[in-house]
Amino acid sequence: MSVLALASQAPAPEITAADVVLTGDRPTGPLHLGHYAGSLANRLRLQRLCRQFVLIADLQALTDNAADPGRVSRNVMEVALDYLAIGLDPARSAIVLQSAVPEMAELAMLYLNLVTVARLERNPTVREEIRQRGFARDLPAGFLCYPVSQAADITAVAATLVPVGADQAPMLEQTVEIVRAVNRLAGAAVLPEPRILLSTMPRLPGLDGRGKASKSAGNAIDLRDDSDTVRAKIRRMYTDPGHLRVEDPGKVEGNVVFATLDAFDPDPTAVAELKRRYRAGGLPDVAVKRRLEEVLEALLGPIRERRAQLARDPGEVRAVLRQGTEAARAQAARVLDAVRGVFGLARP
């Protein structure tokens, strides 16, 4: 199923109007097609089903970007623009700036007392990220602890549903452990236990076909790219190196153009027919790429237009951020009061 079909899909039975969703992104760069396939399309669906908080996690981004905080602050607005341009509706999806919700930071501070260093070091996703970044004794403590900060974010808005890719499942496990520890301490269900909503979309590969599309690898089509840039990126997309002559049979597996068509082409029958002809031989790469250009232009053209319009009115975008952040703070203040009570903290 393409992500476009997902976004317009009928309500999923396991989600009710009483659910509260928390999701978000680290503002380390503009969002790309991988984000659209992996999470944004699903958020467009979820916002029609229940209340949603979408967090711009700038504090979390600082845990491995403290040497270059400008990278984080610069991208807050970019990510907010991406959200609004794809059609997140601030009336249904509160867009929240993490650093402007001090209640989340205070909750994280309290939760840190419920988690051991050994537990933090066991988190398989964090371990892998530490390895990728080459951290040793210079590992920022904030980075090791970011799953606790995520537990704070999730519980602050009393989220019941957290949509994530499989790599994020350990974060939700950590959150559930913290929720149970708080509730045990309280002797009552002070915090709701959030459920995980696992993404079923395969990872969108990067242009080079070597890994997933990602901001830091610079191998992605960004949502804000103009059509010339998109065309140039499609031109250098990895196809099948064995497909030398048009009449040769081509491979569809591992072919980034087909993977991207699978994700975004609204007509899967047409894609199946293209695959059949490509495998049989006689269909040039350039023909498949032309199809992808059309499909992506249909998706990104309107997004680009809305984004340009919004970018002309940054005051309006800031107002949306402020309102979303206030909504999150109102909820977070109630949760924080309850958790402070569990720890026996009184305000003088």
Binding residues for ligand ATP (CB under 6 A) = 25-26, 28, 34-35, 37-39, 165, 168, 203-204, 212-216
CB of 63 to ligand ATP, least distance (A): 12
CB of 218 to ligand ATP, least distance (A): 9
Residue type, 134: G
Please choose, from the candidates 187, 189, 155, the residue with its C-alpha nearest in 3D space to the C-alpha of residue 171: 155
From the CB of residue 282, how many other CB atoms can be counted at a distance below 10 Å? 13
CB of 324 to ligand ATP, least distance (A): 19
Residues 61 and 216: their CA atoms lie apart, in Å, by 13
By C-beta, is 130 or 333 nearer to ligand ATP? 130
Residues 32 and 19: their CA atoms lie apart, in Å, by 27
By C-beta, is 114 or 303 nearer to ligand ATP? 303
In the 8-state DSSP scheme, what is residue 281? S
By C-beta, is 35 or 45 nearer to ligand ATP? 35
CB of 211 to ligand ATP, least distance (A): 8
Residue of minimal Cβ distance to ligand ATP: 38
Chain Cα centroid distance, residue 102 = 22
In the 8-state DSSP scheme, what is residue 23? E
From the CB of residue 179, how many other CB atoms can be counted at a distance below 10 Å? 21
Sign of the alpha-carbon dihedral angle for 104, 110, 111, 117? positive
CB 301 within 8 Å of CB 128: no
By C-beta, is 55 or 320 nearer to ligand ATP? 55
CB 166 within 8 Å of CB 199: yes
CB of 37 to ligand ATP, least distance (A): 5
By C-beta, is 72 or 120 nearer to ligand ATP? 72
By C-beta, is 19 or 25 nearer to ligand ATP? 25
CB of 194 to ligand ATP, least distance (A): 16
By C-beta, is 73 or 214 nearer to ligand ATP? 214
CB of 126 to ligand ATP, least distance (A): 13
Give the β-pairing of 51-56 and 195-198: unpaired
CB of 281 to ligand ATP, least distance (A): 30
By C-beta, is 34 or 194 nearer to ligand ATP? 34
Instruction: Name beta bridge partners: 53.
Output: 22, 94
Please choose, from the candidates 153, 157, 159, the residue with its C-alpha nearest in 3D space to the C-alpha of residue 20: 159
Chain Cα centroid distance, residue 221 = 15
